[in-house]
Structure 1
Amino acid sequence: MLLRHARSLLFLPASNARAVAKVRTLPCDMVILDLEDSVPDDAKEAALDGAVAALAEGFGGRLAAVRINVEGTRWHGAEMVALKGTAADYVVLPKVEHPKQVRDVFSVAQKPVIAMVESAKGVLNAPAIAAGEGCAGLFMGVNDLRKDLGIPPSADRTGLSHAMQAVVLAARAAGIAVFDGVFNRLDDEIGLEAECAEGHRLGFDGKTLIHPGQVPVANQVFGPDVQAVADARRLVEAATGGAERFEGRMIETMHVEEAHALIARAEAVSSR
């Protein structure tokens, strides 16, 4: 599966062997083995060993990534080295504010990097980060960004809207994938669905998640609509080139390309 086709990207502690085993039964599109926030300091070395072992076993065709610890911590260097040569598809790098951070990880780990944008400086530098060597995608780090911007945790995402759109713009300009941040309220399925829908409207490819129960909602919202896919197939079949009329509207090459992209996404999802 291409990264841009991923709908649901699930974080789980690499130190939790039970969670790692369970994720192989879930319909998420990407597994993100976390070595950072969800793992206490005294368990980080064991978590790295567990991540390497889990990658060797595989995740049944799901994309696999590892979130390493931030640059400057005592674990960062060893984690980059350990992931080189593993079956990880991506390395997730937290708190990115400069393209050099991504380039350094890419150089050592020899894996494409997904950069987490979690600060005002990260948002302002997102175009350079996205276009930099080794960057394959961007994650919105909404919790840390709220703190950096001084937005109360209880507030809605209105204050984040400019930053979110700026990160989407940076990713699209660089031609890479971009994913919405996590939703913290684990028992609020209605709120999760609304936030996924908002992220979809903003242009995010999918959503990062922190609980298995969130996966079906993200898959549904970010997955191709059945009717839209059927419409796209009819459009592709009818198109003959240039501007022309199709079912009461004008279409041109751009619309055909969009239809092909939607069909490809639908086919990628159906193969999971």
Structure 2
Amino acid sequence: MSETSYRPRRSVLYVPAVNDKALAKIASLACDAVVIDLEDSVAPTEKVAGRAKLRNILANRPGRAIEMVVRINALSSEWGRDDLLAAAACEPDGILLPKVDTARDVLEAGDALDEAAAPEVLKLWAMVETPKAMLNLGAIAELGRDPASRLACFVAGTNDLVKETGVLATPDRRYLMPWLMQMVLAARAGGLDLLDGVYNDFRDAEGFAHECAEAAAMGFDGKTLIHPAQIEAANAAFSPSAAALAEARAIRDAFALAENAGKGVIALNGKMVERLHLEQAKKLLAKATVVGA
């Protein structure tokens, strides 16, 4: 991971396309990305109005580097295809596809973007929120290795998974944990970023911080958010810690010593350290540079 290849997605805030007050605050927020939502947070009677707002929203992007993604309605819905084409015409950084069940859903969206001559830099994100998506996760993730598919990121839709399966949503997410870890494996196999689902009680700062720390430990790249008050904790949880950075620097410096030139394995502070650890250290340090950790 170089400084130029890493794009932080630690904090990704959903903002309803019809909420003018929330939209006006985007430029002042410290989140890494926003998802302009046309789906769950927009009532059926407001779908068309929300879509009509996209051009103005994306034409007035914040001056700082913030990723702008549009979540459309499912392509199988009456609004989906019009949402997709309208969003593509406004040139966001990405389009988030809900209710993805199979790899074909992603490919069809990509074909539609190609037909509309959308730029190659326009990426697709996919919600993992249905039982079918979980069963087909490997095949969907494989698309991440094919640039023609545009797929760049998975987003866990934990609320929908709970609804669709009937599992009990406990505070420790014990029944969701196997599926979350399966998402991590699939995302890494496909070279995709992976975002954790939302935490519904935005007033519970302690619970939110704990869930962020847990998701970071599992290997998620960031978390989707429903309230600006959650941004700071998410950024902290998914940034390299001071201890991790100190260890990464020590590994880098140790391998840079003349006596370790060409060695595959060295001893450092009583531990065996391999060159794979050096690569991990370099990635962590590059990430820290980008996020200012």
When Rg is computed on C-alpha atoms for both structures, the one with the higher figure is 2
Residues in 2 aligned to 1:198 and 1:4: alpha-carbon distance in whole angstroms: 21
Residues in 1 aligned to 2:93 and 2:191: alpha-carbon distance in whole angstroms: 18
Q: What does 1:57-76 align with in structure 2 at a 5 Å threshold? A: 57-59=60-62, 60-76=64-80
**Which amino acid counterpart does residue 13 of structure 2 have in structure 1?**
L
Q: Any gaps of 5 or more consecutive residues in structure 2?
A: 144-148, 256-260
Q: Does 1:127 align with 2:143?
A: no
- The answer to whether the Cα contact below 8 Å between 1:4 and 1:177 also exists between their aligned partners in 2 is no
Q: Which moved more, 1:206-215 or 1:98-107?
A: 98-107
1:201/1:181 Cα in 2 relative to 1: closer, same or farther (>3 Å)? Answer: same
Structure 1 residue ranges (4+ consecutive) displaced by more than 3 angstroms after TM superposition: 1-4, 152-156
What is the Cα deviation at residue 84 of structure 1?
Answer: 2.2
Which residue in 2 is equivalent to 1:269?
291
Q: Which moved more, 1:229-238 or 1:128-137?
A: 229-238
Which residue in 2 is equivalent to 1:53?
56
Q: Which moved more, 1:82-91 or 1:257-266?
A: 82-91
**Which amino acid counterpart does residue 267 of structure 2 have in structure 1?**
R
Q: Does 1:96 align with 2:100?
A: yes
What root-mean-square deviation, in Å, do the aligned CA atoms of Structure 1 and Structure 2 show? 1.7
Which residue in 2 is equivalent to 1:254?
276
Query: Please, what TM-score do these two structures have when normalized by structure 1?
Result: 0.94
Residues in 2 aligned to 1:119 and 1:159: alpha-carbon distance in whole angstroms: 15
Residues in 1 aligned to 2:171 and 2:12: alpha-carbon distance in whole angstroms: 24
Structure 1 residues 183-227: Cα deviation after superposition (integer angstroms, max 9, x where no partner): 001110111011111111111111011111011111111111123
In the alignment, which of 25, 29, 46 is matched to residue 26 of structure 1? Answer: 29
**Which amino acid counterpart does residue 21 of structure 1 have in structure 2?**
A
Q: Any gaps of 5 or more consecutive residues in structure 1?
A: none
Q: Name the count of aligned residue pairs.
A: 271
- The answer to whether the Cα contact below 8 Å between 1:67 and 1:94 also exists between their aligned partners in 2 is yes
What is the Cα deviation at residue 85 of structure 1?
Answer: 4.1
What is the Cα deviation at residue 100 of structure 1?
Answer: 1.2
Residues in 2 aligned to 1:167 and 1:214: alpha-carbon distance in whole angstroms: 23
Structure 1 residues 99-124: Cα deviation after superposition (integer angstroms, max 9, x where no partner): 11111222223431111010121112
Residues in 1 aligned to 2:170 and 2:188: alpha-carbon distance in whole angstroms: 30
Which residue in 2 is equivalent to 1:186?
202
What is the Cα deviation at residue 152 of structure 1?
Answer: 3.2
**Which amino acid counterpart does residue 117 of structure 1 have in structure 2?**
V
Residues in 2 aligned to 1:94 and 1:144: alpha-carbon distance in whole angstroms: 10
Structure 1 residues 41-85: Cα deviation after superposition (integer angstroms, max 9, x where no partner): 121122122222111211321111000001211111111111224
Q: What does 1:157-168 align with in structure 2 at a 5 Å threshold? A: 157-168=173-184
- The answer to whether the Cα contact below 8 Å between 1:8 and 1:215 also exists between their aligned partners in 2 is yes
* Other structure's SS at 2:25 match: helix
Q: Which moved more, 1:225-234 or 1:141-150?
A: 225-234
Residues in 1 aligned to 2:180 and 2:273: alpha-carbon distance in whole angstroms: 30
What is the Cα deviation at residue 237 of structure 1?
Answer: 2.2
In the alignment, which of 105, 112, 126 is matched to residue 109 of structure 2? Answer: 105
In the alignment, which of 32, 41, 44 is matched to residue 38 of structure 1? Answer: 41
